[in-house]
């Protein structure tokens, strides 16, 4: 058995151990260094111990934020998670019209001629460079954060959908015409159904970009949200809460990705690509 034989497949136990090996090594290395740092400096705040992070996460999950009243009905973590989750879900929902634009561009030549060059150019603009313009045009409220995400991610989704639609064999379209289908019937009942699982995978792969733009907006102009809290805690070197917050964000994003993957398999059991 060797790692570098193409035909060698790890068994179930070996695959399970290997999948957790890097996690275990990273966690062990972190806590070893943290313990050594605290041994030299008990007041070290750069690398908190596990007990400090547990306490920090417990306080965030049980106590209200500093800017709220002491008897506020929601904890700091709950308040920030709801604010970020609302912006995230609105932004992802607004990406689905981008899929339809890409589909129409691929199937209807006049629509493609009108939009293709524009989106190819617009996709190359760094969305974060547009932050001043977005804040001036849309203000610093919720709309500007959502628009930053849409501007940053939608062109990529549009072009990806365009390419996926173009990749559908021409013979499929011709056969649908011979069976009596109309233009929009082919677009939505033939091509769209074939590309939908890959489009969902494309949106899954762009979830990190969605969160990146959302965090940029929250860190610059916001009064709540997970990124706002991380930026606020950074000023006080609150690493005992920052690290649990970062892990919490990763867990939420992982669960969204897993949910979309399971939904894709449920809706398209014939689709084998992961």
Cα–Cα distance for residue pair 133/135, rounded to 1 Å: 6
> What are the tokens at 274?
């992961």
pLDDT of res. 1: 53
Stronger pLDDT, 259 or 272, i.e. the higher one? 259
Q: State the pLDDT confidence band at 178, using cuts at 50, 70 and 90.
A: confident
The answer to whether the CB of 251 falls within 8 A of the CB of 261 is no
Helix extents (H) in the chain: 12-40, 50-62, 76-93, 96-107, 109-122, 131-138, 142-166, 170-178, 183-185, 192-205, 207-220, 226-235, 239-267
pTM: 0.85
pLDDT of res. 65: 80
pLDDT greater than 80 at residue 36: yes
pLDDT greater than 80 at residue 6: no
pLDDT of res. 222: 83
Q: What is the average pLDDT across 35-53?
A: 89
């Amino acid at each position: 058995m060797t790692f570098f034989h193409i035909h060698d497949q790890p068994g179930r136990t070996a695959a399970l151990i290997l999948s957790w090996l890097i996690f275990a090594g990273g966690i062990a290395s972190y806590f070893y260094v943290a313990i050594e740092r605290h041994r030299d400096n008990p007041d070290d705040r750069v690398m908190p111990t596990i007990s400090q992070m547990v306490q920090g996460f417990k306080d965030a999950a049980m106590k209200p934020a500093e800017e709220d009243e002491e008897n506020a009905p929601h904890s700091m973590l709950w308040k920030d998670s709801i604010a970020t989750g609302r912006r995230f879900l609105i932004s992802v929902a607004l990406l689905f019209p981008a899929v339809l634009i890409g589909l129409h561009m691929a199937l209807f030549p006049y629509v493609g001629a009108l939009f293709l060059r524009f989106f190819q150019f617009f996709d190359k603009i760094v969305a974060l460079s547009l932050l001043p313009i977005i804040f001036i045009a849309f203000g610093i409220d919720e709309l500007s954060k959502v628009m930053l995400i849409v501007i940053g991610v939608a062109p990529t989704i549009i072009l990806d959908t365009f390419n996926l639609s173009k990749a559908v064999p021409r013979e499929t379209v011709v056969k649908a015409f011979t069976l009596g289908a109309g233009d929009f019937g082919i677009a939505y009942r033939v091509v769209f159904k074939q590309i939908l699982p890959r489009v969902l995978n494309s949106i899954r792969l762009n979830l990190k970009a969605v969160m990146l733009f959302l965090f940029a907006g929250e860190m610059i102009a916001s009064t709540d949200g997970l990124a706002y809290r991380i930026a606020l805690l950074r000023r006080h070197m609150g690493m005992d809460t920052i690290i649990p917050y970062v892990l919490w964000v990763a867990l939420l994003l992982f669960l969204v990705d897993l949910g979309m993957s399971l939904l894709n398999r449920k809706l398209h059991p014939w689709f084998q690509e992961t």
